[in-house]
Structure 1
Amino acid sequence: MRQNRKPSAVTDRSGLAGATRLVVKVGSSSLTTVGGGISEAALLGLVEQLAAVRNAGTELILVSSGAIAAGLAPLGLPRRPRDLATQQAAASVGQGLLMARYTQAFGAHGVTVGQVLLTADDLIRRQQYANAFRALNRLLALGVVPVVNENDTVATHEIRFGDNDRLAALVAHLVKADALVLFSDVDSVYDGPPAQGARRIPHVGSADDLRGASIGRTGTAGVGTGGMATKVEAATMAAESGIPALVTSTDNAARALAGEDVGTWFASRGNRRPARLLWLAHLADTRGRLILDDGAVTAVASGSRSLLPAGITSVDGDFEAGDPVELTDTAGLVVARGLVNYSSQELPEMLGRSTRELARNLGPHYEREVVHVDDIVLV
């Protein structure tokens, strides 16, 4: 498998049946009981469908939630804990149980699985990104189905993805998937509560198709962290980077993977871009802001210019080099986000000065952009 692999053209949901590489995400609510244990029937039913797709020749990456939920019952916890330390403990217990079930269930169909645990750093830092890419591609080359989960046991509030829906979108981007399929306990995106006669939204070609829709936050099982809103966000995130996505229920798995008209299809509508820019646009918690003069705003908004210290009028917040920051105009309107090359302590004496002057007075280290064009995403 070469790093320059080009995805096959999946232009609508019917193309899923002929896709060569898919990323499939399944949520906690689709795998576990309300009490927190793994539902054997649900897991076996899903694996049967996925194994059939894999045995038919499609490369498959499964992004699976459920580790924390699976650890609740063994630890005697009645519900998902709120504090991070107990979540990490539940994930430590539950991840092994979940992988044991997957290993056994896929093995019954002659399919080998491998565990891959990721944190945000693995997909936004260049070296870790390359390592994750190589590992996943080698697993696929060996015929293995990678089972990916956020590394809840070590992730912190600052670096975690927050839910596996958005992790799945980043993984789909990483492996150059043909499409992303997001399974949950709701069969489609609706324009309101399904129980109140809402209308199914079958196709999303732009943000206008979701305008006015009321999308809830939680699933019915109450053991996950996502909900329909995060699935819509993840599907949009994938679509805007050139990867189409389908949102539907695990009950529709067979029909969805066969390309039938189920769920909500998010058509691709953008070019693929570096994963760190997807993270920066959709997931990053900014640590401060740089206020720009009119000339710098115009330069940044062009999408082809780096931000130099001469165009910055003031600095707000406490951040280090490499942190994500907002770039705003003088009225406070955010025009972009970027990864800053200097700390908030270094920047004040640099404002309004040219890089040549800074290099002459402060040293060659300061002859750099404050934010390089490759680390800027417009919002």
Structure 2
Amino acid sequence: MSRIVVKVGSSSLSSAEGGLDGERVDALVDALAAGRERGDEIVLVSSGAIAAGLAPLSLPRRPRDLATQQAAASVGQGALIARYAQRFEHHGLVVGQVLLTADDVTRRSHYRNAYQTFARLLELGVVPIVNENDTVATSEIRFGDNDRLAALVSHLVHADLLVLLSDVDGLYDGDPRREGAAIIRDVHGEADIAELDIVRPSASAIGTGGMVTKIEAARIATGAGIPVVLTAAPQAAAALEGQAVGTRFHPTGRRRPTRLLWLAHASNTKGAVHLDAGAVRALTVRKASLLPAGITGVTGTFVAGDPVDLVGPDDVVIARGIVNYDSAELPSLLGRSTRDLAAELGAEYEREVVHRDDMMVI
């Protein structure tokens, strides 16, 4: 039995007019249900809420402003999950809706709750259907696209495979619309794609992604030890069966805490903590936690629990971490030892500014 996360984009589910394409949705569900029948556990990360809301709201294309996007998502999310539920029920399967924001994988309490929710849903035989919580997410706390979300969910649920379904059947060495472009079947590391021109946005008027976001998602997942298959949505069944379709990205790293994976690849930091050279060495060489004694300054406004950049004397970001103090508290602590702070202000000030377990060196 394998645990597989499948991500499908808006363009693979929608008609040219912007509404849901029922036949495409049904074909995808049938492929996923066949995987369940073989004994695999399936988690579906599905875009399409905003696209599904366009037609009911008489919107000709995806809106650009956040408020209208959120309104479309509010209308469309119900239609999307209802269609999935109807088709999965045809196969005797129950679905569960999981809407996530960035906080759900960065803040420890949220992360644990998200993990427990997924674990219980899968234990109960439910097919979790995941989307970003577009209706309430602000631009500052968005994942940005569901490709990255799928990579992080893959890590969160301890997936054995991530399948990225797109409107192209794999990664090509050139524009796939041009004659002579060849598909790349295997990617073992950065060297295999270093010479590729992948900075091409999605051609869809509905979706937000493109090959750039899929490559980044593959980096996140494979860097955490999870293989990735990138292929076209009509090849979903073949990909789930293990056939050699699309492009396979092979693992390049090992599993690590999900919140640190988010810090390294997808977080929007709230401010910066500036370090002296000694603190930089302590973090990068000795793998130590960050203490007030090594801090020279603070920029931005943040509260305890927020992600921040850790910046060296040359103004280069050397790490990101979850800070344990508010920005207003730190200036009075700079350059002082935790022992002195505890003696003067109390034991609670003996804590690290950023603990090593909540830090990712870049």
| Alpha-carbon shift at residue 343 of structure 1 (Å) | 2.4
- Answer yes or no: is 1:111 the counterpart of 2:93: yes
SS at match of 2:93: coil
Q: Which residue of 1 aligns with 2:103?
A: 121
Match of 1:194, SS state, is coil
Alignment of 1:1-379 (within 5 A): 19-196=1-178, 197-302=180-285, 304-379=287-362
Shift of 1:145: 1.0
Q: Secondary structure at the match of 1:57?
A: coil
After superposition, the C-alpha distances for 1:288-345 in whole angstroms (9 at most, x for unaligned) are 2222222211111136210111112222222222221111221112211111122222
CA-CA distance at 1:76 after TM superposition: 0.5
Aligned length: 361
Q: TM-score, normalised by structure 2?
A: 0.95
**Inter-partner Cα distance in structure 1 for 2:110 and 2:324:** 20
Q: Structure 2 CA distance, aligned partners of 1:171 and 1:333? A: 30
1:102-146 C-alpha deviation (Å, 9 max, x unpaired): 112122222222222122222222222222222222222222211
Q: In the TM superposition, what is the alpha-carbon distance from 1:217 to its structure 2 partner? A: 4.2
Contact 2:141 2:268 in 1 (8 A): no
2:296 partner SS:
strand
Contact 1:217-1:229 at 8 Å conserved across structures: yes
Q: Find the aligned partners of 1:161 and 1:46 in 2 and give their Cα distance.
A: 24
**Which residue type is aligned with residue 216 of structure 2?**
E
TM-score by length of 1: 0.91
Quickly say closer, same or farther: Cα 1:142–1:180, change in 2 above 3 A: same
- Residues 111, 259 of structure 2: 8 Å contact kept: no
Long gaps (5+) in structure 2: none
Separation (CA, whole Å) in 2 of partners of 1:174 and 1:345: 33
Letter in 2 for 1:275: T
Over residues 192-243 of structure 1, what are the superposed CA-to-partner deviations in whole Å (9 max), with x where a residue is unaligned? 3112333322222222222121113433322112111111111110111111
% identical equivalent positions: 61
CA gap 1:303/1:273 in 2 versus in 1, 3 angstroms: farther
Describe the superposition over 1:71-125 as per-residue Cα deviations: whole angstroms up to 9, x where unpaired: 0000001111111111111111111111111112122222222222122222222
State the AA in 2 paired with 1:370.
V
- Aligned CA-pair RMSD: 1.6
| C-alpha distance 280-237 of structure 1, shift in aligned 2 (>3 A) | same
SS at structure 1 position matched to 2:324: coil
